[in-house]
Amino acid sequence: MELDKNLLGKKRENYLSWDEFFMGISKLSAGRSKDPNTQVGACIVSEDNRILSIGYNGAPNNFDDDKFPWNREGKPTETKYMYVCHAEANAINNYLGSRKDLRGARIYVDLFPCNECAKQIIQAGIKEVIYLSDKYNGTDGNLVSKYLFDSCGVSYREMEKEHQKVLKLSLKPDEEIEYLDEKRD
Ligand SMILES: [Zn+2]
């Protein structure tokens, strides 16, 4: 059977690209973070574009968020750094399926991974990191992350500027996603 191309209609034009969609999920996940200063999300996606897991930075499971040290300064044992679980590590550890599924996957994150998360990404078998910001570029941890990725066959790329859209997501019925920085029709 042959369908008449002239009668098929046209697909919608302003749909989200895969990168926009998965980075959007990552950003939305960051909205769950209770960290008053830094909210980071992560979204792990299989080679065939299925979402495997998401995560955001926060307290370990069962740790009372109200008793968590959210400080950035002070005694090391009273700052968040020694306690907080990063978005990437949470996304990896939240996955309840087979670890085999993570092999060859990619991870979307707001912020370029720290060296601790870089090791977890490598050990999980994730092969690509897509990020929005690399604001710690040049710091020791950042250099180590890149050296680890380069040495272990994990590629990384900043999300293309043309896909760094500003979207307005409404949770009200019958309101579509708005593209605030570009007319797409
Ligand atoms: Zn990290």
- pLDDT reported for residue 176: 86
Please give the backbone phi and psi of residue 5, each rounded to the nearest 5 degrees, phi first. Answer: -55, -30
In angstroms, the CA 173 to CA 8 distance is: 29
pLDDT along the chain (185 residues), means of 10: 88 90 96 93 97 96 90 90 95 96 97 97 98 96 98 97 88 89 57
Query: What per-residue confidence (pLDDT) applies to 22?
Result: 97
Q: How far is the CA of 57 from the centre of ligand 1 (A)?
A: 9
Q: Residue 183: its pLDDT value, please? A: 53
131 C-alpha to ligand 1 centroid (Å): 13
Residue 140, token pair as written in the block: 């020791």
Query: Per residue in 126-149, is it b (16+ CB within 10 Å) or e — as a string?
Result: bbbbbbbeeeeeeeeebeebbebb
How far, in Å, from the CA of 118 to the mean position of ligand 1?
7
